[in-house]
Amino acid sequence: MRRWKGTLLCLALLLSLTACGGKGEGEGGSLLGQAAGMDEEKTLLTVDGREVALWQCLYWLDRACGGLEEQYAQAGKTLDWSAAVEEGVSLKDYVKEQALGDAALYATVDNWAQLYGVELGEEQTQQIQQQWALQSQQAGGEEAWLAQLAAQGLDQSRWEALEQTGQRYALLYDAFCAGQGDLAAAEGAVEAYADQKGYVTVQAVRLPEGEDPQAAQEKAAALFSQLNGAQDLAAAFQAVAAQGESLGTLTVSPEEGTLPQAVAEAVAQLEPGQYSGVIEAEGAYWLMMRLSTDLTVPRAAYFDDMLTQAAQSAPVETEPEWADVDPEAFSTALQALRQEEA
């Protein structure tokens, strides 16, 4: 099966981006088709019987290329598209796989919606219309918004198609959370997933070292002493949090890297209701209290994993034209076209 390292869905937002639609090669199509020099309306991908047009794959390829280029620019490094990510896989291969993976995820959402009888209603239609009005207002008018979309290779119909998939995703997730029909998770599955991934819910207090690390350390020690012997530990921790930099209540897993490694390791040793000692990490002192795990975050991650696995295991056919797409040349041509249009 194709190796995909696709981004997990942010389906409900997608639409701060994006048109001139249009068919045909070169000058007849949107910027995406012009940059690739291909018929962007042609079916490029078939995911479990659902056809995906080339423009959708080019749209995701543009985002994958842009993200990679931004990472290298921020790191002050020169992007070598031929560099190997792993044996036999170059950066060019990687972004193309990312694009196909994201396109397949969207197609899988639409396939699931059909399979599980999820249909958009008046509420979802109104939300899409409201989002369109909001984006137009923020852009300075509908004409300006359409111009922003055009720079991304989308027109209103393409934008709406992506929004509709986002709405279907939200409905599917609601049905999953409600335990409806075949979408319901097996009893205890989410809890087991949370445990497997190491999810914990914590209250976090951070005291930056600042210009006087010694004073920060002493303050952290003093706050820690307030917790010892407290009759109401939850209230005591809230009082401590008010004297430091409270990060509130977080539900995190080690894979996310939200907490410094030393902090995450210390929290993993706690039982719900226990608090840590003073932990020094990343230029700060930390105090942590572990709570009972809130399953909201791992439940969403579990659902996304189900969806991703379905996309990765779905029967997929790719047209041979995709082999002719060179990400570096495509991205360079697309940037030049955007400059011409600006």
Q: Give CATH for domain 200-292.
A: 3.10.50.40
C-alpha 311/C-alpha 307 separation (Å) is 6
Question: CATH number of the domain at 26-187+300-341, please?
Answer: 1.10.4030
* Rounded Cα gap, residues 147 and 150, in angstroms: 5
In this chain, the answer to whether the domains covering 26-187+300-341 and 200-292 adopt an identical fold is no
**At residue 4, does pLDDT exceed 60?**
no
Residue 255 banded pLDDT, cuts 50, 70, 90? confident
**φ, ψ dihedrals at 204, nearest 5°:** -125, 135
Length of the chain: 342
pLDDT in tens, 112-169: 999 999 999 999 999 999 999 999 999 999 999 999 999 999 999 999 999 999 999 9
For 166-175, how does the pLDDT look when each residue is reduced to its tens digit (9 = 90+)?
Answer: 999 999 999 9
Average per-residue pLDDT in the chain? 90
Examine the pLDDT at 13 and tell me if it is beyond 80: no
Asked whether the beta carbons of 173 and 299 are under 8 A apart, the reply is no
Per-domain boundaries in the chain: 26-187+300-341, 200-292
The residues near 19 (Cβ < 8 Å, ≥ 6 apart) are 30, 31, 146, 149, 150, 151, 152, 153, 154, 155, 156, 158, 159
- Cα separation, 118 vs 170, whole angstroms: 10
- pLDDT surpassing 60 at residue 232: yes
| Mean pLDDT of the 305-312 span | 95
> What does the pLDDT look like over 33-89, one tens digit per residue?
999 999 999 999 999 999 999 999 999 999 999 999 999 999 999 999 999 999 999
| Environment class of 78 (CB within 10 Å of its CB; exposed 0-12, middle 13-18, buried 19+) | exposed
